[in-house]
Structure 1
Amino acid sequence: MASKIVVIGAVNGKFSEMFAKLATLHAKQNFAFAIIAGDLCANIGTAADADREELAKLLRGDITVPLSTYFALGAQSLPVEVVDVLEKNEGELCPNLSVLGRKASIKTSDSFRIVAVGGAHAGSGDQVVPQYAAYYTDSDAQAVGKGLTNADIVVTSDWPAHIRDGGESQYTVASPAETESIADLCTSLKPRYHFSASEAFYEREPFFHNGPTPRSVTRFISLAPYGNSAKRKWIYAFSLEPSADAPQNLPPGCTSSPLTGTKKRKLDSQQSDFNTFRYANGNGTDHYQPDYRRQKRSRNNAPPTPSQCYFCLSNPTCEKHMIGSIGSDVYLTTAKGPLSTRQTFPDLGFPGHILLIPVQHQPTISAMTPAETRKSIVTEMQQYRAALQSMLVEKPKGADGLAKLGAVTWEISRNSGVHLHWQFLPVPVDMVRRGLVEAGFDQEAANLNYPKFVKGFKEMEEIEEGNFFKVTIWSEALRKEMVMPLDGDFRFDLQFGRRVLGKLLGLEQRTHWKDCAQTVGEETADAEVFKEVFKKFDFGLEEEEVS
């Protein structure tokens, strides 16, 4: 059963006024409990006589706290007399008012799990810190979440690092402190609500976390101080059911989590030769010519010819043991260093990551000649994709009678590329239905400050006349296309498609193909399973039989 909860920003010693207002609201709403997310007391160093008298009244019991209330340890040190009372009364300051402290994990009488980290960030040390000191370390943030996999509410003084990335909500005053350890805590616990306090009100769009579906969704809200002159929002009331399951449908405006989006490692491929991008990355430009935008190719640094290109069948070192089907103008191959594994989609029997590669050596479809061949290449690419999708439909179905798997196809088309190809990857159909795939690509583009995806048909047609990155999202009941223009001076990450889908599938450690190396025997075995599974749908085999 859902309960009503109320959260308040910094009180800063205004106890009589705030608790009187809270009592009026409580009489109407019957809250289960309240949380004060910011500083409870006024600043010790600047406290006026009126503030000291307010504190004395609270400690004497002259101010009534109308309901069970938990207060966070803010960035300001607590007065000595407050610390003395808390130590004597095991964290209770007065009837109905208890501290959450520097690091706390509690379960309320209504079965809500609240996790709190209070005070200002003091680095990564693991030194012994007094229980009510107004600072925390990275070790504190790690320790408080140890052994927990979820929480209903997280309360922190600092904001999670990167929390505003990819969001449209604006924060109008000086930025508050943000830390990686708080971001890691939120990512680990996947709370339904994460509260903090700041000089102004801020509410980020809800975001979903990586993991199995249905995905946990977090709402991050930071409240302004009580009684602020700008009349910024200082109180937030909501209803919540303890330990409820993750939502089946994403709330409006939901994005993927911004908390892991900017943790990038330097890609090995960015300083490697062309052949290191083999099969599982982009179209080859940044691998072969890292500084293409800053210098022209010289005669000694020309694009690879077909005999040097690892996508060309004429190259003697082309790894033909991975080829699964050859048509008239296009062939299929399993991906080298596939993002997914055999365990990702066990019903398939092989990883499922497939590349569709035109035989003609060109960086874009528009560069392929003659026009008749160009048209037949596009047709055959689409036929192969449709055949792969039909293969997924034949696999075990869900309770609704539809396929359990959808699919994502993505491509990088640039005039400066080497050899165009499409990448095809199955995904759980629920990700498609709930808009998780589309939201994941939108969010990662925002995290990296890339151009926004265009989704209107006419607009996409115009963009596809130039350089672009394209995503096609498919299920039996839905098809969605989205295109990002690549004309610009930004450096496009060739791992972008893998990065997004790796996050969605919980395979972030496999973002780069070099981290997913297989033996030739394993690659051959996967290709053989793929050929057997795909045999029923392989029109290339039909052509061979007819001839």
Structure 2
Amino acid sequence: MASPRILLCGDVLGRLNQLFKRVNSVNKSAGPFDALFCVGQFFPDEPDRLDELMDYVEGRAQVPLPTYFIGDYGVGAPKVLSAVSRNSANQGFKMDGFKVCDNLFWLKGSGMFTFHGLSVAYLSGRQLSNGQQFGTYSQIDIDTLRAFAEEPGIYLMMTLISQRLQVEMTNDRTQLDVNRKIIEAGTKGAYYVREPYCNVDAVHVTRFLGLASVGNKEKQKFLHALSPTPSSTMAAAEISAKPPNTTLSPYTLVDQVDRPKETTKRASDIELDSQYWRYDVSSKRQKHGNGDTNKVCFKFISSGTCPRGEKCNFPHDADAREQFLRGVCLDFIIKGKCEKGPDCNFKHSLQDDGENHSRKRLGSSNANINRSKECWFCLSSPNVESHLVTSIGENFYCALAKGPLVQDHVLIIPVEHMPNTLSLPADSEIELGKFQNSLKVYYKNQGNEAVFFEWISIRGTHANLQAVPVPSSKAAILKDIFTLAAEKLGFEFVTKK
């Protein structure tokens, strides 16, 4: 696979016409380029430039190539980004960008995604929130990025934080351990390239690049072309190669000056621990090792694994991990509240697994009674959302999804409380097939194909087979899409016949 060709840009400040004129010129002379990554303030700082930006947002002008930005503040940002957040196409866990318009994507908060084999991590916004809805990042964004930073192979780090500020932040225990090959930053209005420096816990060197703002009066460089080779395709000798002008890590130097020797180890341990724990807001807290029973391992919740394993000082809470997988807001899980409020795209309530975490044996009659009362899907339960039910058969019933992924998202649910639909009696299997065929016909009449999927929990929750329509024109590439999505989330998509 050929190395991706990308462009990096500093503060845009709403000057999209000037930016894309330059991009088109570079693209013709040295391209084609695959994408443009913008750091610094993307929106204008003056109202008279808002019309220029809105021409692109509303489709009157075209963005020439896929463009990603992180500086989500400035004039017009709340209006534009509020509309983007409400768009149904932008709902869910989207670390690869919220679509603003064709070829323009907003990288919100923090995250990591893969672009043409290149791992890109980002931190969007400024640190101080002052109650602002957009243009800031939270502590949870920092913690999430720290978790991603432990993953190998991240090549490009996008941030608004300058090199000077990053060094100063080490004193406040907010230094990000981003041992990346390239760190791109904006907001300082100046072009700056630092000598490559060594990393403490990684063999490769890191290059820091600061870019000036678009249309700056000093005519400093605001656009930089790059054709990086993804680390996953490089030999070990290439990754560890150090240019002659390589320096020590600036963060290590700051640590040595500002921290007494006798407290270095203890401070390091505290800082490392702070990357792992968060307060457990659930009523169920189990002691794990010598850790604090009021705290849980953030790394385990967010990724499902923890490099510390049994040596971790904090509980690996499977319940919290399951809530995260069910789409519950990570902020809500670990802190009990979310700063984003109604604008958050995730759920702000714990999602019951159908058994209310009962410790009683499933075989007992009392457990069965309690299970039916508490289960969302048992028709005998007072909690069942009966207004969503569309059809009831002998063994299955059909209902609209309470929190649909797309329009016409439907659930096929067994009438009896059973853990999955993989092992069914013959008559139940026949009826399930009839429900599926009916949905296929319904979706077909609308120019769609049906995708069926099921979440199977080891806890034996009430089964629900979910049906989602996708455009027929996309059906042939579904497997490729699933494979790519799995790679982005760090696992392998496997098909079995």
Report the TM-score, using the length of structure 1 for normalisation: 0.41
Higher relative contact order (CA 8 A, sep 6+): 1
> Which of the two has higher C-alpha Rg?
1
